[in-house]
Structure 1
Amino acid sequence: MLKRLSILAVFSALVLAGCVASPEPAEDDRLYQALGEREGIERIVEDMLIRVTDDVRIAHYFRGIPLGDLRDELADQFCELAGGPCEYTGRDMREAHEDLDLSRADFNALVEHLIAAMERHHVRVPDQNRLLAKLAPMERDMVD
């Protein structure tokens, strides 16, 4: 529990820092390797999506969305940000989330599930934080 609170505290700080920075792809592939390359990233994303679709707080946002397509897009995005050989070609975060009226609590619930998925797949906390730091700037485009 303390570990999870520590990660959430770090993530909150990263979100605040992200308000002035935009997400940038990694300069090397160390994070990509730490996440288990493309297959590992796909497993993490799949696990996260299973968790969010079972979460009454946010499951309604995912109804009617082809989860296989979403998994592939998120895996591409995470892969690219982590320095892998992938290219994210999906919509930008503002456009993709503009009509959803997401709250910070909704965003945090998603992050909780991403952290739990990374923990389940034995991603080290420093590597979790590195991925969260890459994703944090997107919060401002997703939350109303």
Structure 2
Amino acid sequence: MKTLILLFTVCLLLSSCATQNGNTYQQLGGQAKIEEIVDNFIYEIEFDPVLFEFFKDSDINRFREKLIEHLCLLTGGPCQYTGDSMEQVHAGMNISESSYNHGVDLFINAMTKAEIPHPIQNKVLATMIHTREQMIYQ
């Protein structure tokens, strides 16, 4: 009986997490808003001398496509991420904690320009935080 209760509790928690992520995607505004955020972020990067250095030789169309996929997946949307791992993408870039944090600030600006409410921005950032260690130079 205890095993059955434990199993039920675990299933309930897992479905709750999936629902919360799905809700984040929906609360964000779905695919159209994700694309708007990514486009805003690319614009932010283009006019930022610190982050532009990391992207100046990038295939920006591929970056856009893969960031849209990744953000959609992380927020619980119906997407598949088909890009490389975060470690592979950021290898050799020597991203400092300061540069990473600056990128987060620009991403927040991009969400604000897309009129994403701050509570939803926080949910989005919470889904993305696990990629931090994979991006910063160790």
Structure 2 residue runs without a partner (length 5+) = 1-16
Q: In structure 1, the residue corresponding to 2:50 is in which secondary structure?
A: coil
Q: Which runs of 5+ in 1 are unaligned?
A: 1-25
1:35 corresponds to: 28
Aligned residue type for 1:55? D
CA shift, 1:129, in A, is 0.7
Give aligned-pair identity as a percent.
29
* 1:120 CA drift (Å): 1.1
User: Quick check: which has more Rg, 1 or 2?
Assistant: 2
Residue 130 of structure 1: how far off its partner (Å): 0.8
1:40 offset after TM fit, Å?
0.7
* Count of residues in correspondence between the two structures: 119
**2:57 aligns to what?**
64
> Which amino acid is 1:117 matched to?
A
**How well do the aligned residues superpose, as a CA RMSD in angstroms?**
1.1
1:89 maps to a residue whose letter is T
* Matching residue of 1:143: 136
User: Taking structure 1 as the reference length, what is the TM-score of the superposition?
Assistant: 0.79
| Among 101, 126, 129, the residue aligned to 1:133 | 126
Hey, what does 1:98 align to over in structure 2?
Answer: 91
In 2, the alpha carbon distance for the partners of 1:82 and 1:140 equals 19
Q: Does 1:47 align with 2:40?
A: yes
Corresponding position: 1:110 with 2:110: no
The aligned amino acid for 1:135 is M
Once residues 43 and 68 of structure 1 are traced to their aligned partners in structure 2, the CA distance between those partners, rounded to angstroms, is 14
Return the offset for 1:34.
Answer: 1.8
| 1:48 counterpart SS class | helix
> Greater relative contact order (Cα 8 A, min sep 6): structure 1 or 2?
1
